[in-house]
Amino acid sequence: MPSTLSLAPSPVHTVCHCSHCGEPTGFGEAHEPVFCCSGCATAFHMIHHLGWEDYYALRTYGGPRVDAHANIDLDRRLILDNLEAAGVQVHPLTDGLCSVRLAVDGLHCAACTWLIERVQTTILGLESAQVRMSDRSIELIYDPARTEPMVIANQFAKLGYCLSPWTADSEDTQGFQKQQREHWLGIATAAFFAANAMWIGVALYAGEATGISAGHEYFLRWVGTLLGGLAIVFPGRLFFRTAWQAIRSRTPHVDIPVAISLTMGIAGSLWGAASGVGDIYFDSLASLILLLRIGRYIQFRAQYRTSLSLAKLLRWNSNTAVRLEADGSRTRIPASRLNAGDQVEILPGEMAPADGLVISGDSCMDWSLLNGENRAKPVSVHDALYAGTTNVTAPLTMSVTAVGSETRMGRLMELVRKGASQRTPSIEAADRVSKWFVAIVLLLGAGTWLTWTLVANVSVASETTMALLTIACPCALALAAPLVLTVAMGKAARRNIWIRDGACLERLAKPGMLWLDKTGTLTTGKLQVLDWHGDDEVLPWAMSLEKSIQHPIAKAICSFASQQAVQCVVYPPLHAQDVSYAIGKGAAGYVAGNSILAGTRQWLLENGVAIDDAFLTIERTAWTHNRSVVWLAVDGRVRGLFELGDPLRPDAKEALRRISSMGWKLGILSGDRQELVDHLAQELRSHGIDIAQSLGQHGPEEKLQVIQRTKANGIGPCAMVGDGVNDAAALAAADVGIAIRGGSDQALQAAPIYIANGSLSAVLELMQASGSVVRGIRRCFAASLIYNTITLTMAMLGWIHPLIAAVLMPISGLTVLTMAVSVNAFKKGN
Amino acid sequence: MSVLYVALPVALLLGGSALVACLACIRSGQYDDLDGPSVRLLNDELSS
């Protein structure tokens, strides 16, 4: 148990990782399977029972986390129950079978595909289940007479894979597939022409060196011209088309200089080929087109991924709502069809579908999505409710005041979308460098040719210019930065750090200001029992009482009791009877004939329990450490006391200390109460947290303002680490936004960097890796520049023969490639 | 050396036919899912 606040010596535990999903789990011994929740345990045993342990060997990432009571939630069930109404197309096949495409949540790597397609064989009536990794979808072919999508979805849910309707972005995906294929077609043709034009070029240079018959030279020149021409007509057409559109609409575009360079090249080469004296550059032109097409493709992928994660984020409210009709009946409709003035019912465990006012009912709302605070707030009649908050305890009726993008949540998502789209992808660097490079080289070539024609004669001039054009290789310059970044990103992904925007990695090299969210980022974000004072034998009783209650505290006590007192679990399990519950006070009930009370001291006093002085002292100490206390009484006598809190992440202190020693300033940016933030800041003061920069009670909008202020007057980059939707706007606005896996919120993958293993040390690793990456890029640039300057000068002076130039050119590219791959970012064991 | 006049077009034609085959593969959607098939291979072997 990573109890960082505890006074009493806590039992020695190593930090273990859940055997199924790989999430850090505080309990258990290292050599035995441990689980973060009973859902994961079920999935693990199910996989072992079926003899498919190979799954754990095949996978490269942790599996999906399974909810304890793995059943698909109400909304999805409603939709899956009636696919036609939800707009999902079910295609009837010839032999009475049906086929349907659904989205799968929780896919990580190829092993998931393997597991899902294995599970298919155990589900009756499911003929085939084919997963498509690229767009995270699954095609089910089933026999409608024997099974239905809901049953199948339930089976998959037990393993942690949730199925949901796929319609929302199926058009998008089809468009993506089509565009992706077009990019591939272009790259393939460009590669064919480039490769062939290049070896014809090599033959010409070799002929220049060793002698070639005029007929052969003439023939090779024309074949080269033909190949280069085809390269421009087919894969290269794209650049002329966009350049022409840009000229017509009078907007500057990168394709204009690219098209000018290409035109210059074509004109020169055509003249050379026709007159037989000048040079032909068709090999260079064809390879340039190939490089540009590859650059475009990478850019297209990056943009698509951004838009996809944004679409996911904006669909946070794809849930349904129960509307109360005028005649008192209830209908369940999609939340998008609500209007202001409608009355809706929100059951416990459901999310408010819109902003509104409570009309009737008393309950607690969980605000964690909006402000990251994990304590439920009580609400009653006339209180405002915000979309995105979750009802915890009792049914509420609400009158809707704002829906969709008008809600506070909707406006927040709009801020996120703006922040994320302001970012320009760094991939354009390849275009930028190569287009100027080409223009400069062509100018130099023309100059060299003229000079040498005046000084010597035309044939010497041609030879020198040819050497110059061959040796000038934009590949090394253009590829250095993207290559180093791609290699580093690949290595990071193997360590469960997913980097979407490579430029972010570069920005972390210089120390600046690092803001950290509190709940879920510095802490684990889950309420846990940190200490228990009392008899272990009453734990099963407390557990059976709390089991029937939907409350974070009850859940924490249940999981503590089941893990701490496994040996005292009674079979058959005990069942609590006559359970009653008072909001903000506690619960009462009967277990095996004994009256059990769990709650605040006040609750126990109200029920006539005498309070022990020893326990009072414990309670006071716990309060000074900002922990909540739950008293447990059996048959009118206090039998124990739970101390609950949100513990720090086990690696937080060490990571913070090392980050601050690198020169970073650390601040806390939290939606939680200021006193709690202050308390944590005091504790972490010696680890580099700045007390003056520990801000509490900051909602999503204020967090965004703090980030913008820091960016405006800060020195160095402004980075933010957060875990909730309430941090999303700040993450998108920061120079470097790092989302950390906490509340398992898929939406946060919209952040440029996503730490999937949920450890804070990954932030430290990122910073160290960033240094190596920036140094690596500089080394590659320097090497490439020096190389090009020296060889170009030598070529212009006529010291290099075209044949030697043809050999030297690939060596330059190869050097940069080797240097880029050898950059040791994310080295194991640092 | 006049073999060059025959060999070069033949080489280009051979390469060109490979290119056409590659384009046909892309168009048919063979490259749309690059991760799935590698695992599906294992799947068939085990379930047989």
CB contact under 8 Å between B33 and A181, yes or no, is no
Smallest Cβ–Cβ distance between A110 and the set B1, B29, B35 belongs to B35
Residue A223 sits at the chain B interface (C-beta within 8 Å)? yes
- Rounded to whole angstroms, the Cα distance separating A298 from A450 reads 39
- Half-sphere exposure at residue A498, Cβ-oriented, CA atoms within 13 angstroms: 16
**Closest-CA residue of chain A to B43:** A114
Position with higher pLDDT, A452 vs A468: A452
In angstroms, the separation between the Cα of residue A228 and the nearest Cα of chain B is 13
Residue A342, exposed/middle/buried by CB under 10 A (0-12, 13-18, 19+)? buried
Residue A4's pLDDT band (boundaries 50, 70, 90)? very low
Smallest Cβ–Cβ distance between A192 and the set B15, B29, B31 belongs to B15
| pLDDT single digits (tens) A398-450 | 999 888 777 877 777 777 666 655 544 444 555 566 567 667 777 887 888 88
Residue B34 sits at the chain A interface (C-beta within 8 Å)? yes
Residue B20's pLDDT band (boundaries 50, 70, 90)? very high
What's the DSSP call for residue A829? T
Which pLDDT score is estimated for A64? 64
**Strand A513-516 versus strand A718-722 pairing type:** parallel
Q: Please, which residues have CB within 8 angstroms of residue A43's CB and are 6 or more apart in sequence?
A: A20, A63, A66, A70, A158, A159, A160
Residue A807's pLDDT band (boundaries 50, 70, 90)? low
CB contact under 8 Å between B8 and A219, yes or no, is yes
Q: Please, which residues have CB within 8 angstroms of residue A454's CB and are 6 or more apart in sequence?
A: none
**Crossing angle (nearest 10°) for helices B4-27 and A214-233:** 10
- Rounded to whole angstroms, the Cα distance separating A110 from A99 reads 23
Residue A637's pLDDT band (boundaries 50, 70, 90)? confident
Which of A104, A118, A187 to probe the B interface (max B CBs under 10 A)?
A118
Residue A534 has pLDDT above 80, yes or no: yes
The tokens describing A354, both together, are 């819109």
In angstroms, the separation between the Cα of residue B48 and the nearest Cα of chain A is 12
Residues on chain A touching B30 (C-beta within 8 angstroms): none
Which of A137, A184, A218, A230 to probe the B interface (max B CBs under 10 A)?
A184
Tell me the pLDDT of chain A averaged across its residues. 76
- Rounded to whole angstroms, the Cα distance separating A247 from A301 reads 26
What pTM does this model have? 0.61
Residue A177 sits at the chain B interface (C-beta within 8 Å)? yes
Residue B44 sits at the chain A interface (C-beta within 8 Å)? no
Smallest Cβ–Cβ distance between A216 and the set B4, B29, B43 belongs to B4
Residues on chain B touching A113 (C-beta within 8 angstroms): 35-36, 39-40
What's the DSSP call for residue A184? H
CB contact under 8 Å between B27 and A181, yes or no, is yes
Over residues A172-185, the mean pLDDT reads 81
Least confident stretch, A295-299, A484-488, A713-717: A295-299
- Rounded to whole angstroms, the Cα distance separating A745 from A633 reads 37
| pLDDT single digits (tens) A349-395 | 778 888 889 998 888 887 766 666 666 778 888 888 888 788 877 88
Residues on chain A touching B42 (C-beta within 8 angstroms): 54, 58, 114
Over residues A547-571, the mean pLDDT reads 70
In angstroms, the separation between the Cα of residue A127 and the nearest Cα of chain B is 14
Mapping DSSP to helix (H, G, I), strand (E, B) and coil, where does residue A301 land? helix
In angstroms, the separation between the Cα of residue B40 and the nearest Cα of chain A is 7
Residue A50 sits at the chain B interface (C-beta within 8 Å)? no
**Closest-CA residue of chain A to B9:** A223
Between CA A574 and CA A579, with CA A576 as vertex, the angle to 5 degrees is 170
DSSP states along A371-424: H---SPEEE-TT-EE-TT-EE-SS-EEEEEEE-GGGSHHHHHHHHHHHHHHTPP
Residues on chain B touching A131 (C-beta within 8 angstroms): 36
CB contact under 8 Å between A110 and B34, yes or no, is no
- Rounded to whole angstroms, the Cα distance separating A127 from A152 reads 11
Residue A210 sits at the chain B interface (C-beta within 8 Å)? no
Residue A779 has pLDDT above 90, yes or no: no
In angstroms, the separation between the Cα of residue A57 and the nearest Cα of chain B is 12
- Rounded to whole angstroms, the Cα distance separating A560 from A530 reads 9
